[in-house]
């Protein structure tokens, strides 16, 4: 019996139109997907089309991303509104700046917007070691200092590994702080430097089982929660340009992890 909801992360399909990605994910068998919010294309008509594809296919939206402190314009209000309309469960938040107080303030504001838009929404801080506030401890600090009950942490196992932390530490955390996981694989040896880490995260991830990250330990440490498969890969983008082909290949590689 399946104990986890599996979702195709928005980043896997970020180079493709969101409506087509939604339709492809559903047709490939995914029960849920992520949605990439691009403020330049997200019009009322675009939102209606995404909603139509969701209704036609029956697929659920796990998360909408990204709110990034340090990038302009601030899309928080529009993204939160879209997430509520789409029935998403989570909103991804991260920061490229080192100003902890600013990040805490902006995270708290995003949580407040989410609470007003849909009390079922949770805002998750995704830490990236390529960014200044980039460790699990940093993310926990942002959530703690914000004081918002609808704030949590998103653990991406690649970022966890590249920040030098093993999944064992997750056993000691309050499970409510880890509502879902992002999963991919990679070689054990980390790239050198922030630019190289960011390149790996965006363009060189591997499918679970093709690398050396301790995925089994991760799933044991955080059981039952949904899994979002964040296999952002230039090779995958080049090989599977058709949305359905890409979504179907992704499903074939991970469906056994449900």
CB 84 within 8 A of CB 121: yes
Residue 1 has pLDDT above 90, yes or no: no
Convert the pLDDT of each residue in 139-154 to its tens digit: 999 999 999 999 999 9
Length of the chain: 258
Residue 238: inside a domain, yes or no? yes
Q: How far apart are CA 223 and CA 110, in angstroms?
A: 27
User: Domains in the chain: how many in total?
Assistant: 1
Mean pLDDT, rounded, of the chain: 97
The closest alpha carbon to 209, from 135, 136, 157, 154, belongs to 157
Q: pLDDT grade, residue 2 (50/70/90)?
A: low
Convert the pLDDT of each residue in 45-77 to its tens digit: 999 999 999 999 999 999 999 999 999 999 999
Vertex 124: Cα angle to 240 and 150 (nearest 5): 140
Range of the domain at 251: 6-257
Cα dihedral 254→6→236→80 (10° resolution): -170
Token output for 53: 């594809």
Residue 1: inside a domain, yes or no? no
Residue 119: inside a domain, yes or no? yes
- Residue 73, preceding bond cis, omega within 30 degrees? yes
Convert the pLDDT of each residue in 161-203 to its tens digit: 999 999 999 999 999 999 999 999 999 999 999 999 999 999 9
* Sequence-separated (6 or more) residues with CB below 8 Å from residue 194: 129, 130, 131
Residue 242: inside a domain, yes or no? yes
Phi, psi dihedrals of residue 9, rounded to the nearest 5°: -65, 145
**Mean pLDDT, residues 202-223 taken together:** 98
Convert the pLDDT of each residue in 121-133 to its tens digit: 999 999 999 999 9
Q: What is the DSSP code (8-state) at residue 190?
A: P
The closest alpha carbon to 195, from 184, 187, 205, 203, belongs to 203
Kindly report the CATH number assigned to the domain that includes residue 41. Answer: 3.20.20.150
Q: Which residues are registered as beta bridge partners of 154? A: 126
Q: C-alpha 39: how far from its chain's center? A: 18
pTM: 0.97
**DSSP three-state, residue 182:** strand
Residue 55: inside a domain, yes or no? yes
Give residue for tokens 């919010």. Answer: 37
């Amino acid at each position: 019996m399946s104990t986890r909801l599996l979702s195709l992360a928005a980043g896997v399909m970020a180079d493709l139109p969101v409506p087509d990605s939604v339709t492809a994910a559903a047709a490939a068998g995914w029960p849920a997907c992520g949605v990439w919010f691009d403020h330049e294309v997200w019009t009322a008509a675009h939102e209606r089309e995404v909603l139509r594809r969701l209704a036609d296919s029956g697929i659920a939206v796990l998360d909408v991303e990204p709110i990034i402190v340090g990038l302009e314009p601030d899309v928080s209000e529009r993204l939160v509104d879209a997430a509520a309309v789409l029935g998403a469960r989570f909103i991804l938040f991260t920061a490229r700046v080192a100003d902890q107080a600013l990040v805490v303030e902006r995270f708290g504001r995003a949580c407040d917007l989410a609470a007003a838009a849909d009390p079922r929404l949770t805002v998750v801080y995704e830490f990236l070691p390529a960014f200044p506030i980039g460790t699990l401890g940093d993310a926990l600090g942002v959530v703690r200092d914000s004081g918002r009950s609808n704030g949590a942490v998103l653990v991406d196992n690649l970022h966890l590994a590249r920040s030098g932390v093993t999944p064992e530490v997750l056993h000691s955390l309050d499970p409510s702080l880890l509502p879902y996981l992002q999963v991919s694989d990679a070689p054990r040896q980390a790239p050198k430097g922030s630019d190289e880490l960011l390149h790996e995260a965006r363009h060189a991830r591997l499918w679970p089982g093709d690398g050396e990250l301790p995925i089994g330990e991760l799933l044991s440490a955080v059981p039952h929660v949904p899994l979002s498969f964040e296999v952002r890969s230039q090779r995958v983008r080049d090989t599977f340009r058709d949305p359905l082909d890409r979504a179907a290949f992704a499903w074939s590689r991970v469906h056994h992890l449900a």
